[in-house]
Structure 1
């Protein structure tokens, strides 16, 4: 989906995603000292707002202007005390890579792109890490098509943790976690399958 398609999706109903952060974000970053964070593909801003509410200075990027508008609304409604801690940026991370060596934490959550574009975006995310920084990548696993629920139905934009680990096989970056994770959705026992990768800049 392009930016216009996402604008239309975000405009057609209340909230597309939950207000609560993904549990893997909480698990990965809760124990770290607050610093600078980059939220790539922020959507409605739930993860940027979570970072900011814990004292992080956040840059949150999305190519959908409607997503940024709703993210600002979420911040105002659920975390008014974080005013000034989030810079909302309307940009395409494939066309406009983030600043290098700038962030202690980078989250790339459910950014589904064709393989070549994904690789480019992830290289940019990795390059954005400051020394000692932590990168988290989460997305719907390829196996979610046949074994899970929800998510994109185009196999060309899905990936495995191994795919991401290969994308991030760059000097100075160490993979510390790469696995498939089952994520409960709804109350009927259904689950989505996510690919989860955590890397740290040495």
Structure 2
């Protein structure tokens, strides 16, 4: 989907995504001391808002202005800079300031575009900064539920690490994780979706 298709989707409903943060983003970043954070491909800003509520100074970047507009309303009064730009071409803070953390959640792109976004997110970090990447895993196509039906837009943790080839980083976490979908108040029984989760710390 291009930016205008996403704009149309965001305008068509109150919220496309949940209001709360992604569970893996919350788990991986809740322990960090707040600083400057980048939410790359932020959508409606659920992760950016959660970070800002915890005291982070956040830049939320997405190419769909309609999503950012919704986020700005939901996050009114919080320290969030809403930036309309493409994650595959965005080159960081215009002032050149580095970030302490970068989140990329469910940016499902073909390999070359994914690599560009991953490298943009990583390069925005200061040395010692943390990148958290979560996306629908390749195995979700045959073993899980939800997510894109196109394998070219799915990935593994190993793919994301390969995207960062040539960079210097410490791998904190890289693998496949299960996420329960539905159940409880849902009419459908709980089902399992498979995501890839990568957390790295920039070392050079």
Q: Same fold (TM over 0.5)?
A: yes
**1:59-115 per-position Cα deviation (integer Å, ceiling 9, x unaligned):** 000000110111112213xxx4x2xx1000011121222246610000000011110
8 Å contact kept, 1:97–1:121: no
Q: For residues 74 and 154 of structure 2, what CA distance do their matches in structure 1 show?
A: 28
| TM-align CA RMSD | 1.2
- What is the TM-score normalised by the length of structure 2? 0.92
8 Å contact kept, 2:90–2:120: no
Residue 141 (structure 2) aligned to one of 132, 141, 145: 145
- What is the TM-score normalised by the length of structure 1? 0.93
> Number of aligned pairs?
196
In structure 2, the gaps of 5 or more residues are 184-188
Q: For residues 194 and 65 of structure 1, what CA distance do their matches in structure 2 show?
A: 27
In structure 1, the gaps of 5 or more residues are none
Q: For residues 6 and 112 of structure 1, what CA distance do their matches in structure 2 show?
A: 13
Q: Secondary structure at the match of 1:199?
A: strand
Segments of 4+ moved more than 3 angstroms: none
**1:10-48 per-position Cα deviation (integer Å, ceiling 9, x unaligned):** 111111111111111111111111100000011111100
Q: Secondary structure at the match of 1:112?
A: coil
Matched, 1:115 2:111: yes
